[in-house]
Structures are given as structure tokens and as C-alpha cells.
Amino acid sequence: MVFAVLKKKKFIVSLILIIAVACSVMFFGLKGAVNTFGKQKRDLPIYNVKTDEKKIAISFDCAWGVDYTDKLLSIMEKEGVKCTFFMVEFWTKKHPDYVKKIFDAGHEVGTHSATHPYMSKLSKEAIVKELSSSKKAIEDITGKDVTVFRAPYGDYNNLLIQTAKELGLYTIQWDVDSLDWKDLSAEQISSRVLKKAKGGSIVLFHNQGLHTAEALPEIIGRLKAQGYTFVPIGELIYKENYQVDSNGTQIKNS
């Protein structure tokens, strides 16, 4: 009788141990799965480029008007600077003469979408339509393939970046924001840019910024004095054999 009781207790203890081990395996297995999902790679646009060269890319987003565009082009011509203009399709169709003027001046032209939406909220089909349509509108005017794209509002997700890549587009962000769209003074714009710009930087301006044209001569002049040169984004970034790190810095693979 005593032996039977002991045997039963031993069985119960063994059963408890088995259940405990099983629960541990399930818990840590699940935890591992959560960690794996938590570490799922997020695709990033190119914010800047790792380079030993003192090169900087100036860029303008074009969506709402052309009031200051001639002045910007005049400054660029005087300074011998080539930059990148990202154009929304409705802006492109409203101002085809400016698309051609910008392109003929030797500047790079990229797409800024068709309708300026929050693109992370779109389906793949809608993303393809936004990018393909806006690319074509520009290419019909310039006769040159569009290869760079900037998402409106800087809003993106994996689907957007992957779809853009499938369409032959490099998704470009920025690491220096002039905040010129907030109508900052020329001095404030200059101060922000000059404090943050470095080799491989991509600077964000807007062609319709109220004081952008006033700020540019000082920005360009002071950076030139520090030994910097200016190139379009397409000449700054690596086109192949690269990776983009967790900070959005594009790095050439060794």
C-alpha cells in the first residue's frame, strides 16, 4: 500500500516536471519567435551617403508653385551648382516649361509621386500607379529616365521602397532639413543647414520656400570655403553593391 502511494507520488512529480519543461519550451520558443519578428528588417530610404569625399547634394521638392524657381536657378547657375528637383505629377503637368528649364540647366529631375499622398497607406497597385504615372509625365518632357524618388512627407514603408526598387527607382530621404517650408528666415535656414551638413549629406529644400533663395548664397559660399562640392543625388549615391544601415546611411560594400 505504501509502495503504491509512493509510486503514485513519483508519477505525479514526474508529470509536473514534464509539464514544466513543456511550458518552458513553449514560452522561450514563443519569446524567440517574438524577438525574431521584432527584429524583422525594415527597409530604409537613403538619408545620406558614407563617403570620404566632401560632396553634398542639394535637393528641392516641387509641388505647389514656381514663384521663386527662376531665382533658385539663377543662383545655381552663378555658383556652378547642379542639384536635384523632385516633382509631383500635377506640378509637372501644370509647369512643363519649368520642368524643361530645370532639366536643360543640367539639374537632375526625380519624381515626388503623382498626387502627393501618404504612400505608406497605399496598396502596391496604387503605389505602382503613383510612381509609374509621375515618372512618365517627367520623362515625356525630358526624354530621360527618372531614377530617383522622394516620398511625400518623408512617409514610407517596406512595400513602398521595395516597389520603387522594382520600378528602377532609388528612394531618397534627407539628413539635413532646412525647414524652409515653415517660412524660417534666411538666417535661420542657413544656420540649420550649416550646422548639420557634412560629406555625403542630402539637404532638403522646397522650390517654393519663402526665404530659401535668400539663404542659398551664404550656404553654398560657406560650404565651398570649407572645401565642399555639390552634386546631384544621382551622382552622390552608389548605384550597386551597397547597403543601407539602420540610420539610413548608404554604404559601399567592400
Catalytic residues: 61, 206
Query: Under 8 Å CB-to-CB from 184, ≥6 apart: which residues?
Result: 178, 192, 211
Q: Which three cell numbers stand for residue 142?
A: 525630358
What does the radius of gyration of the chain's CA atoms come to, in whole angstroms? 26
CA 136 to chain centroid, in Å, comes to: 21
Burial classification of residue 36, based on how many CB atoms lie within 10 Å of its CB (0-12 exposed, 13-18 middle, 19 or more buried):
exposed
67: Cβ–Cβ under 8 A, 6 or more apart, which residues? 208
Cα(110)–Cα(202) distance, rounded to whole angstroms?
Answer: 14
90 contacts 214 by C-beta, under 8 angstroms = no
∠ Cα 198 200 203 (to 5°) = 75
- Helix H or strand E encompassing 184: none
Distance CA(113)–CA(34), nearest Å, equals 35
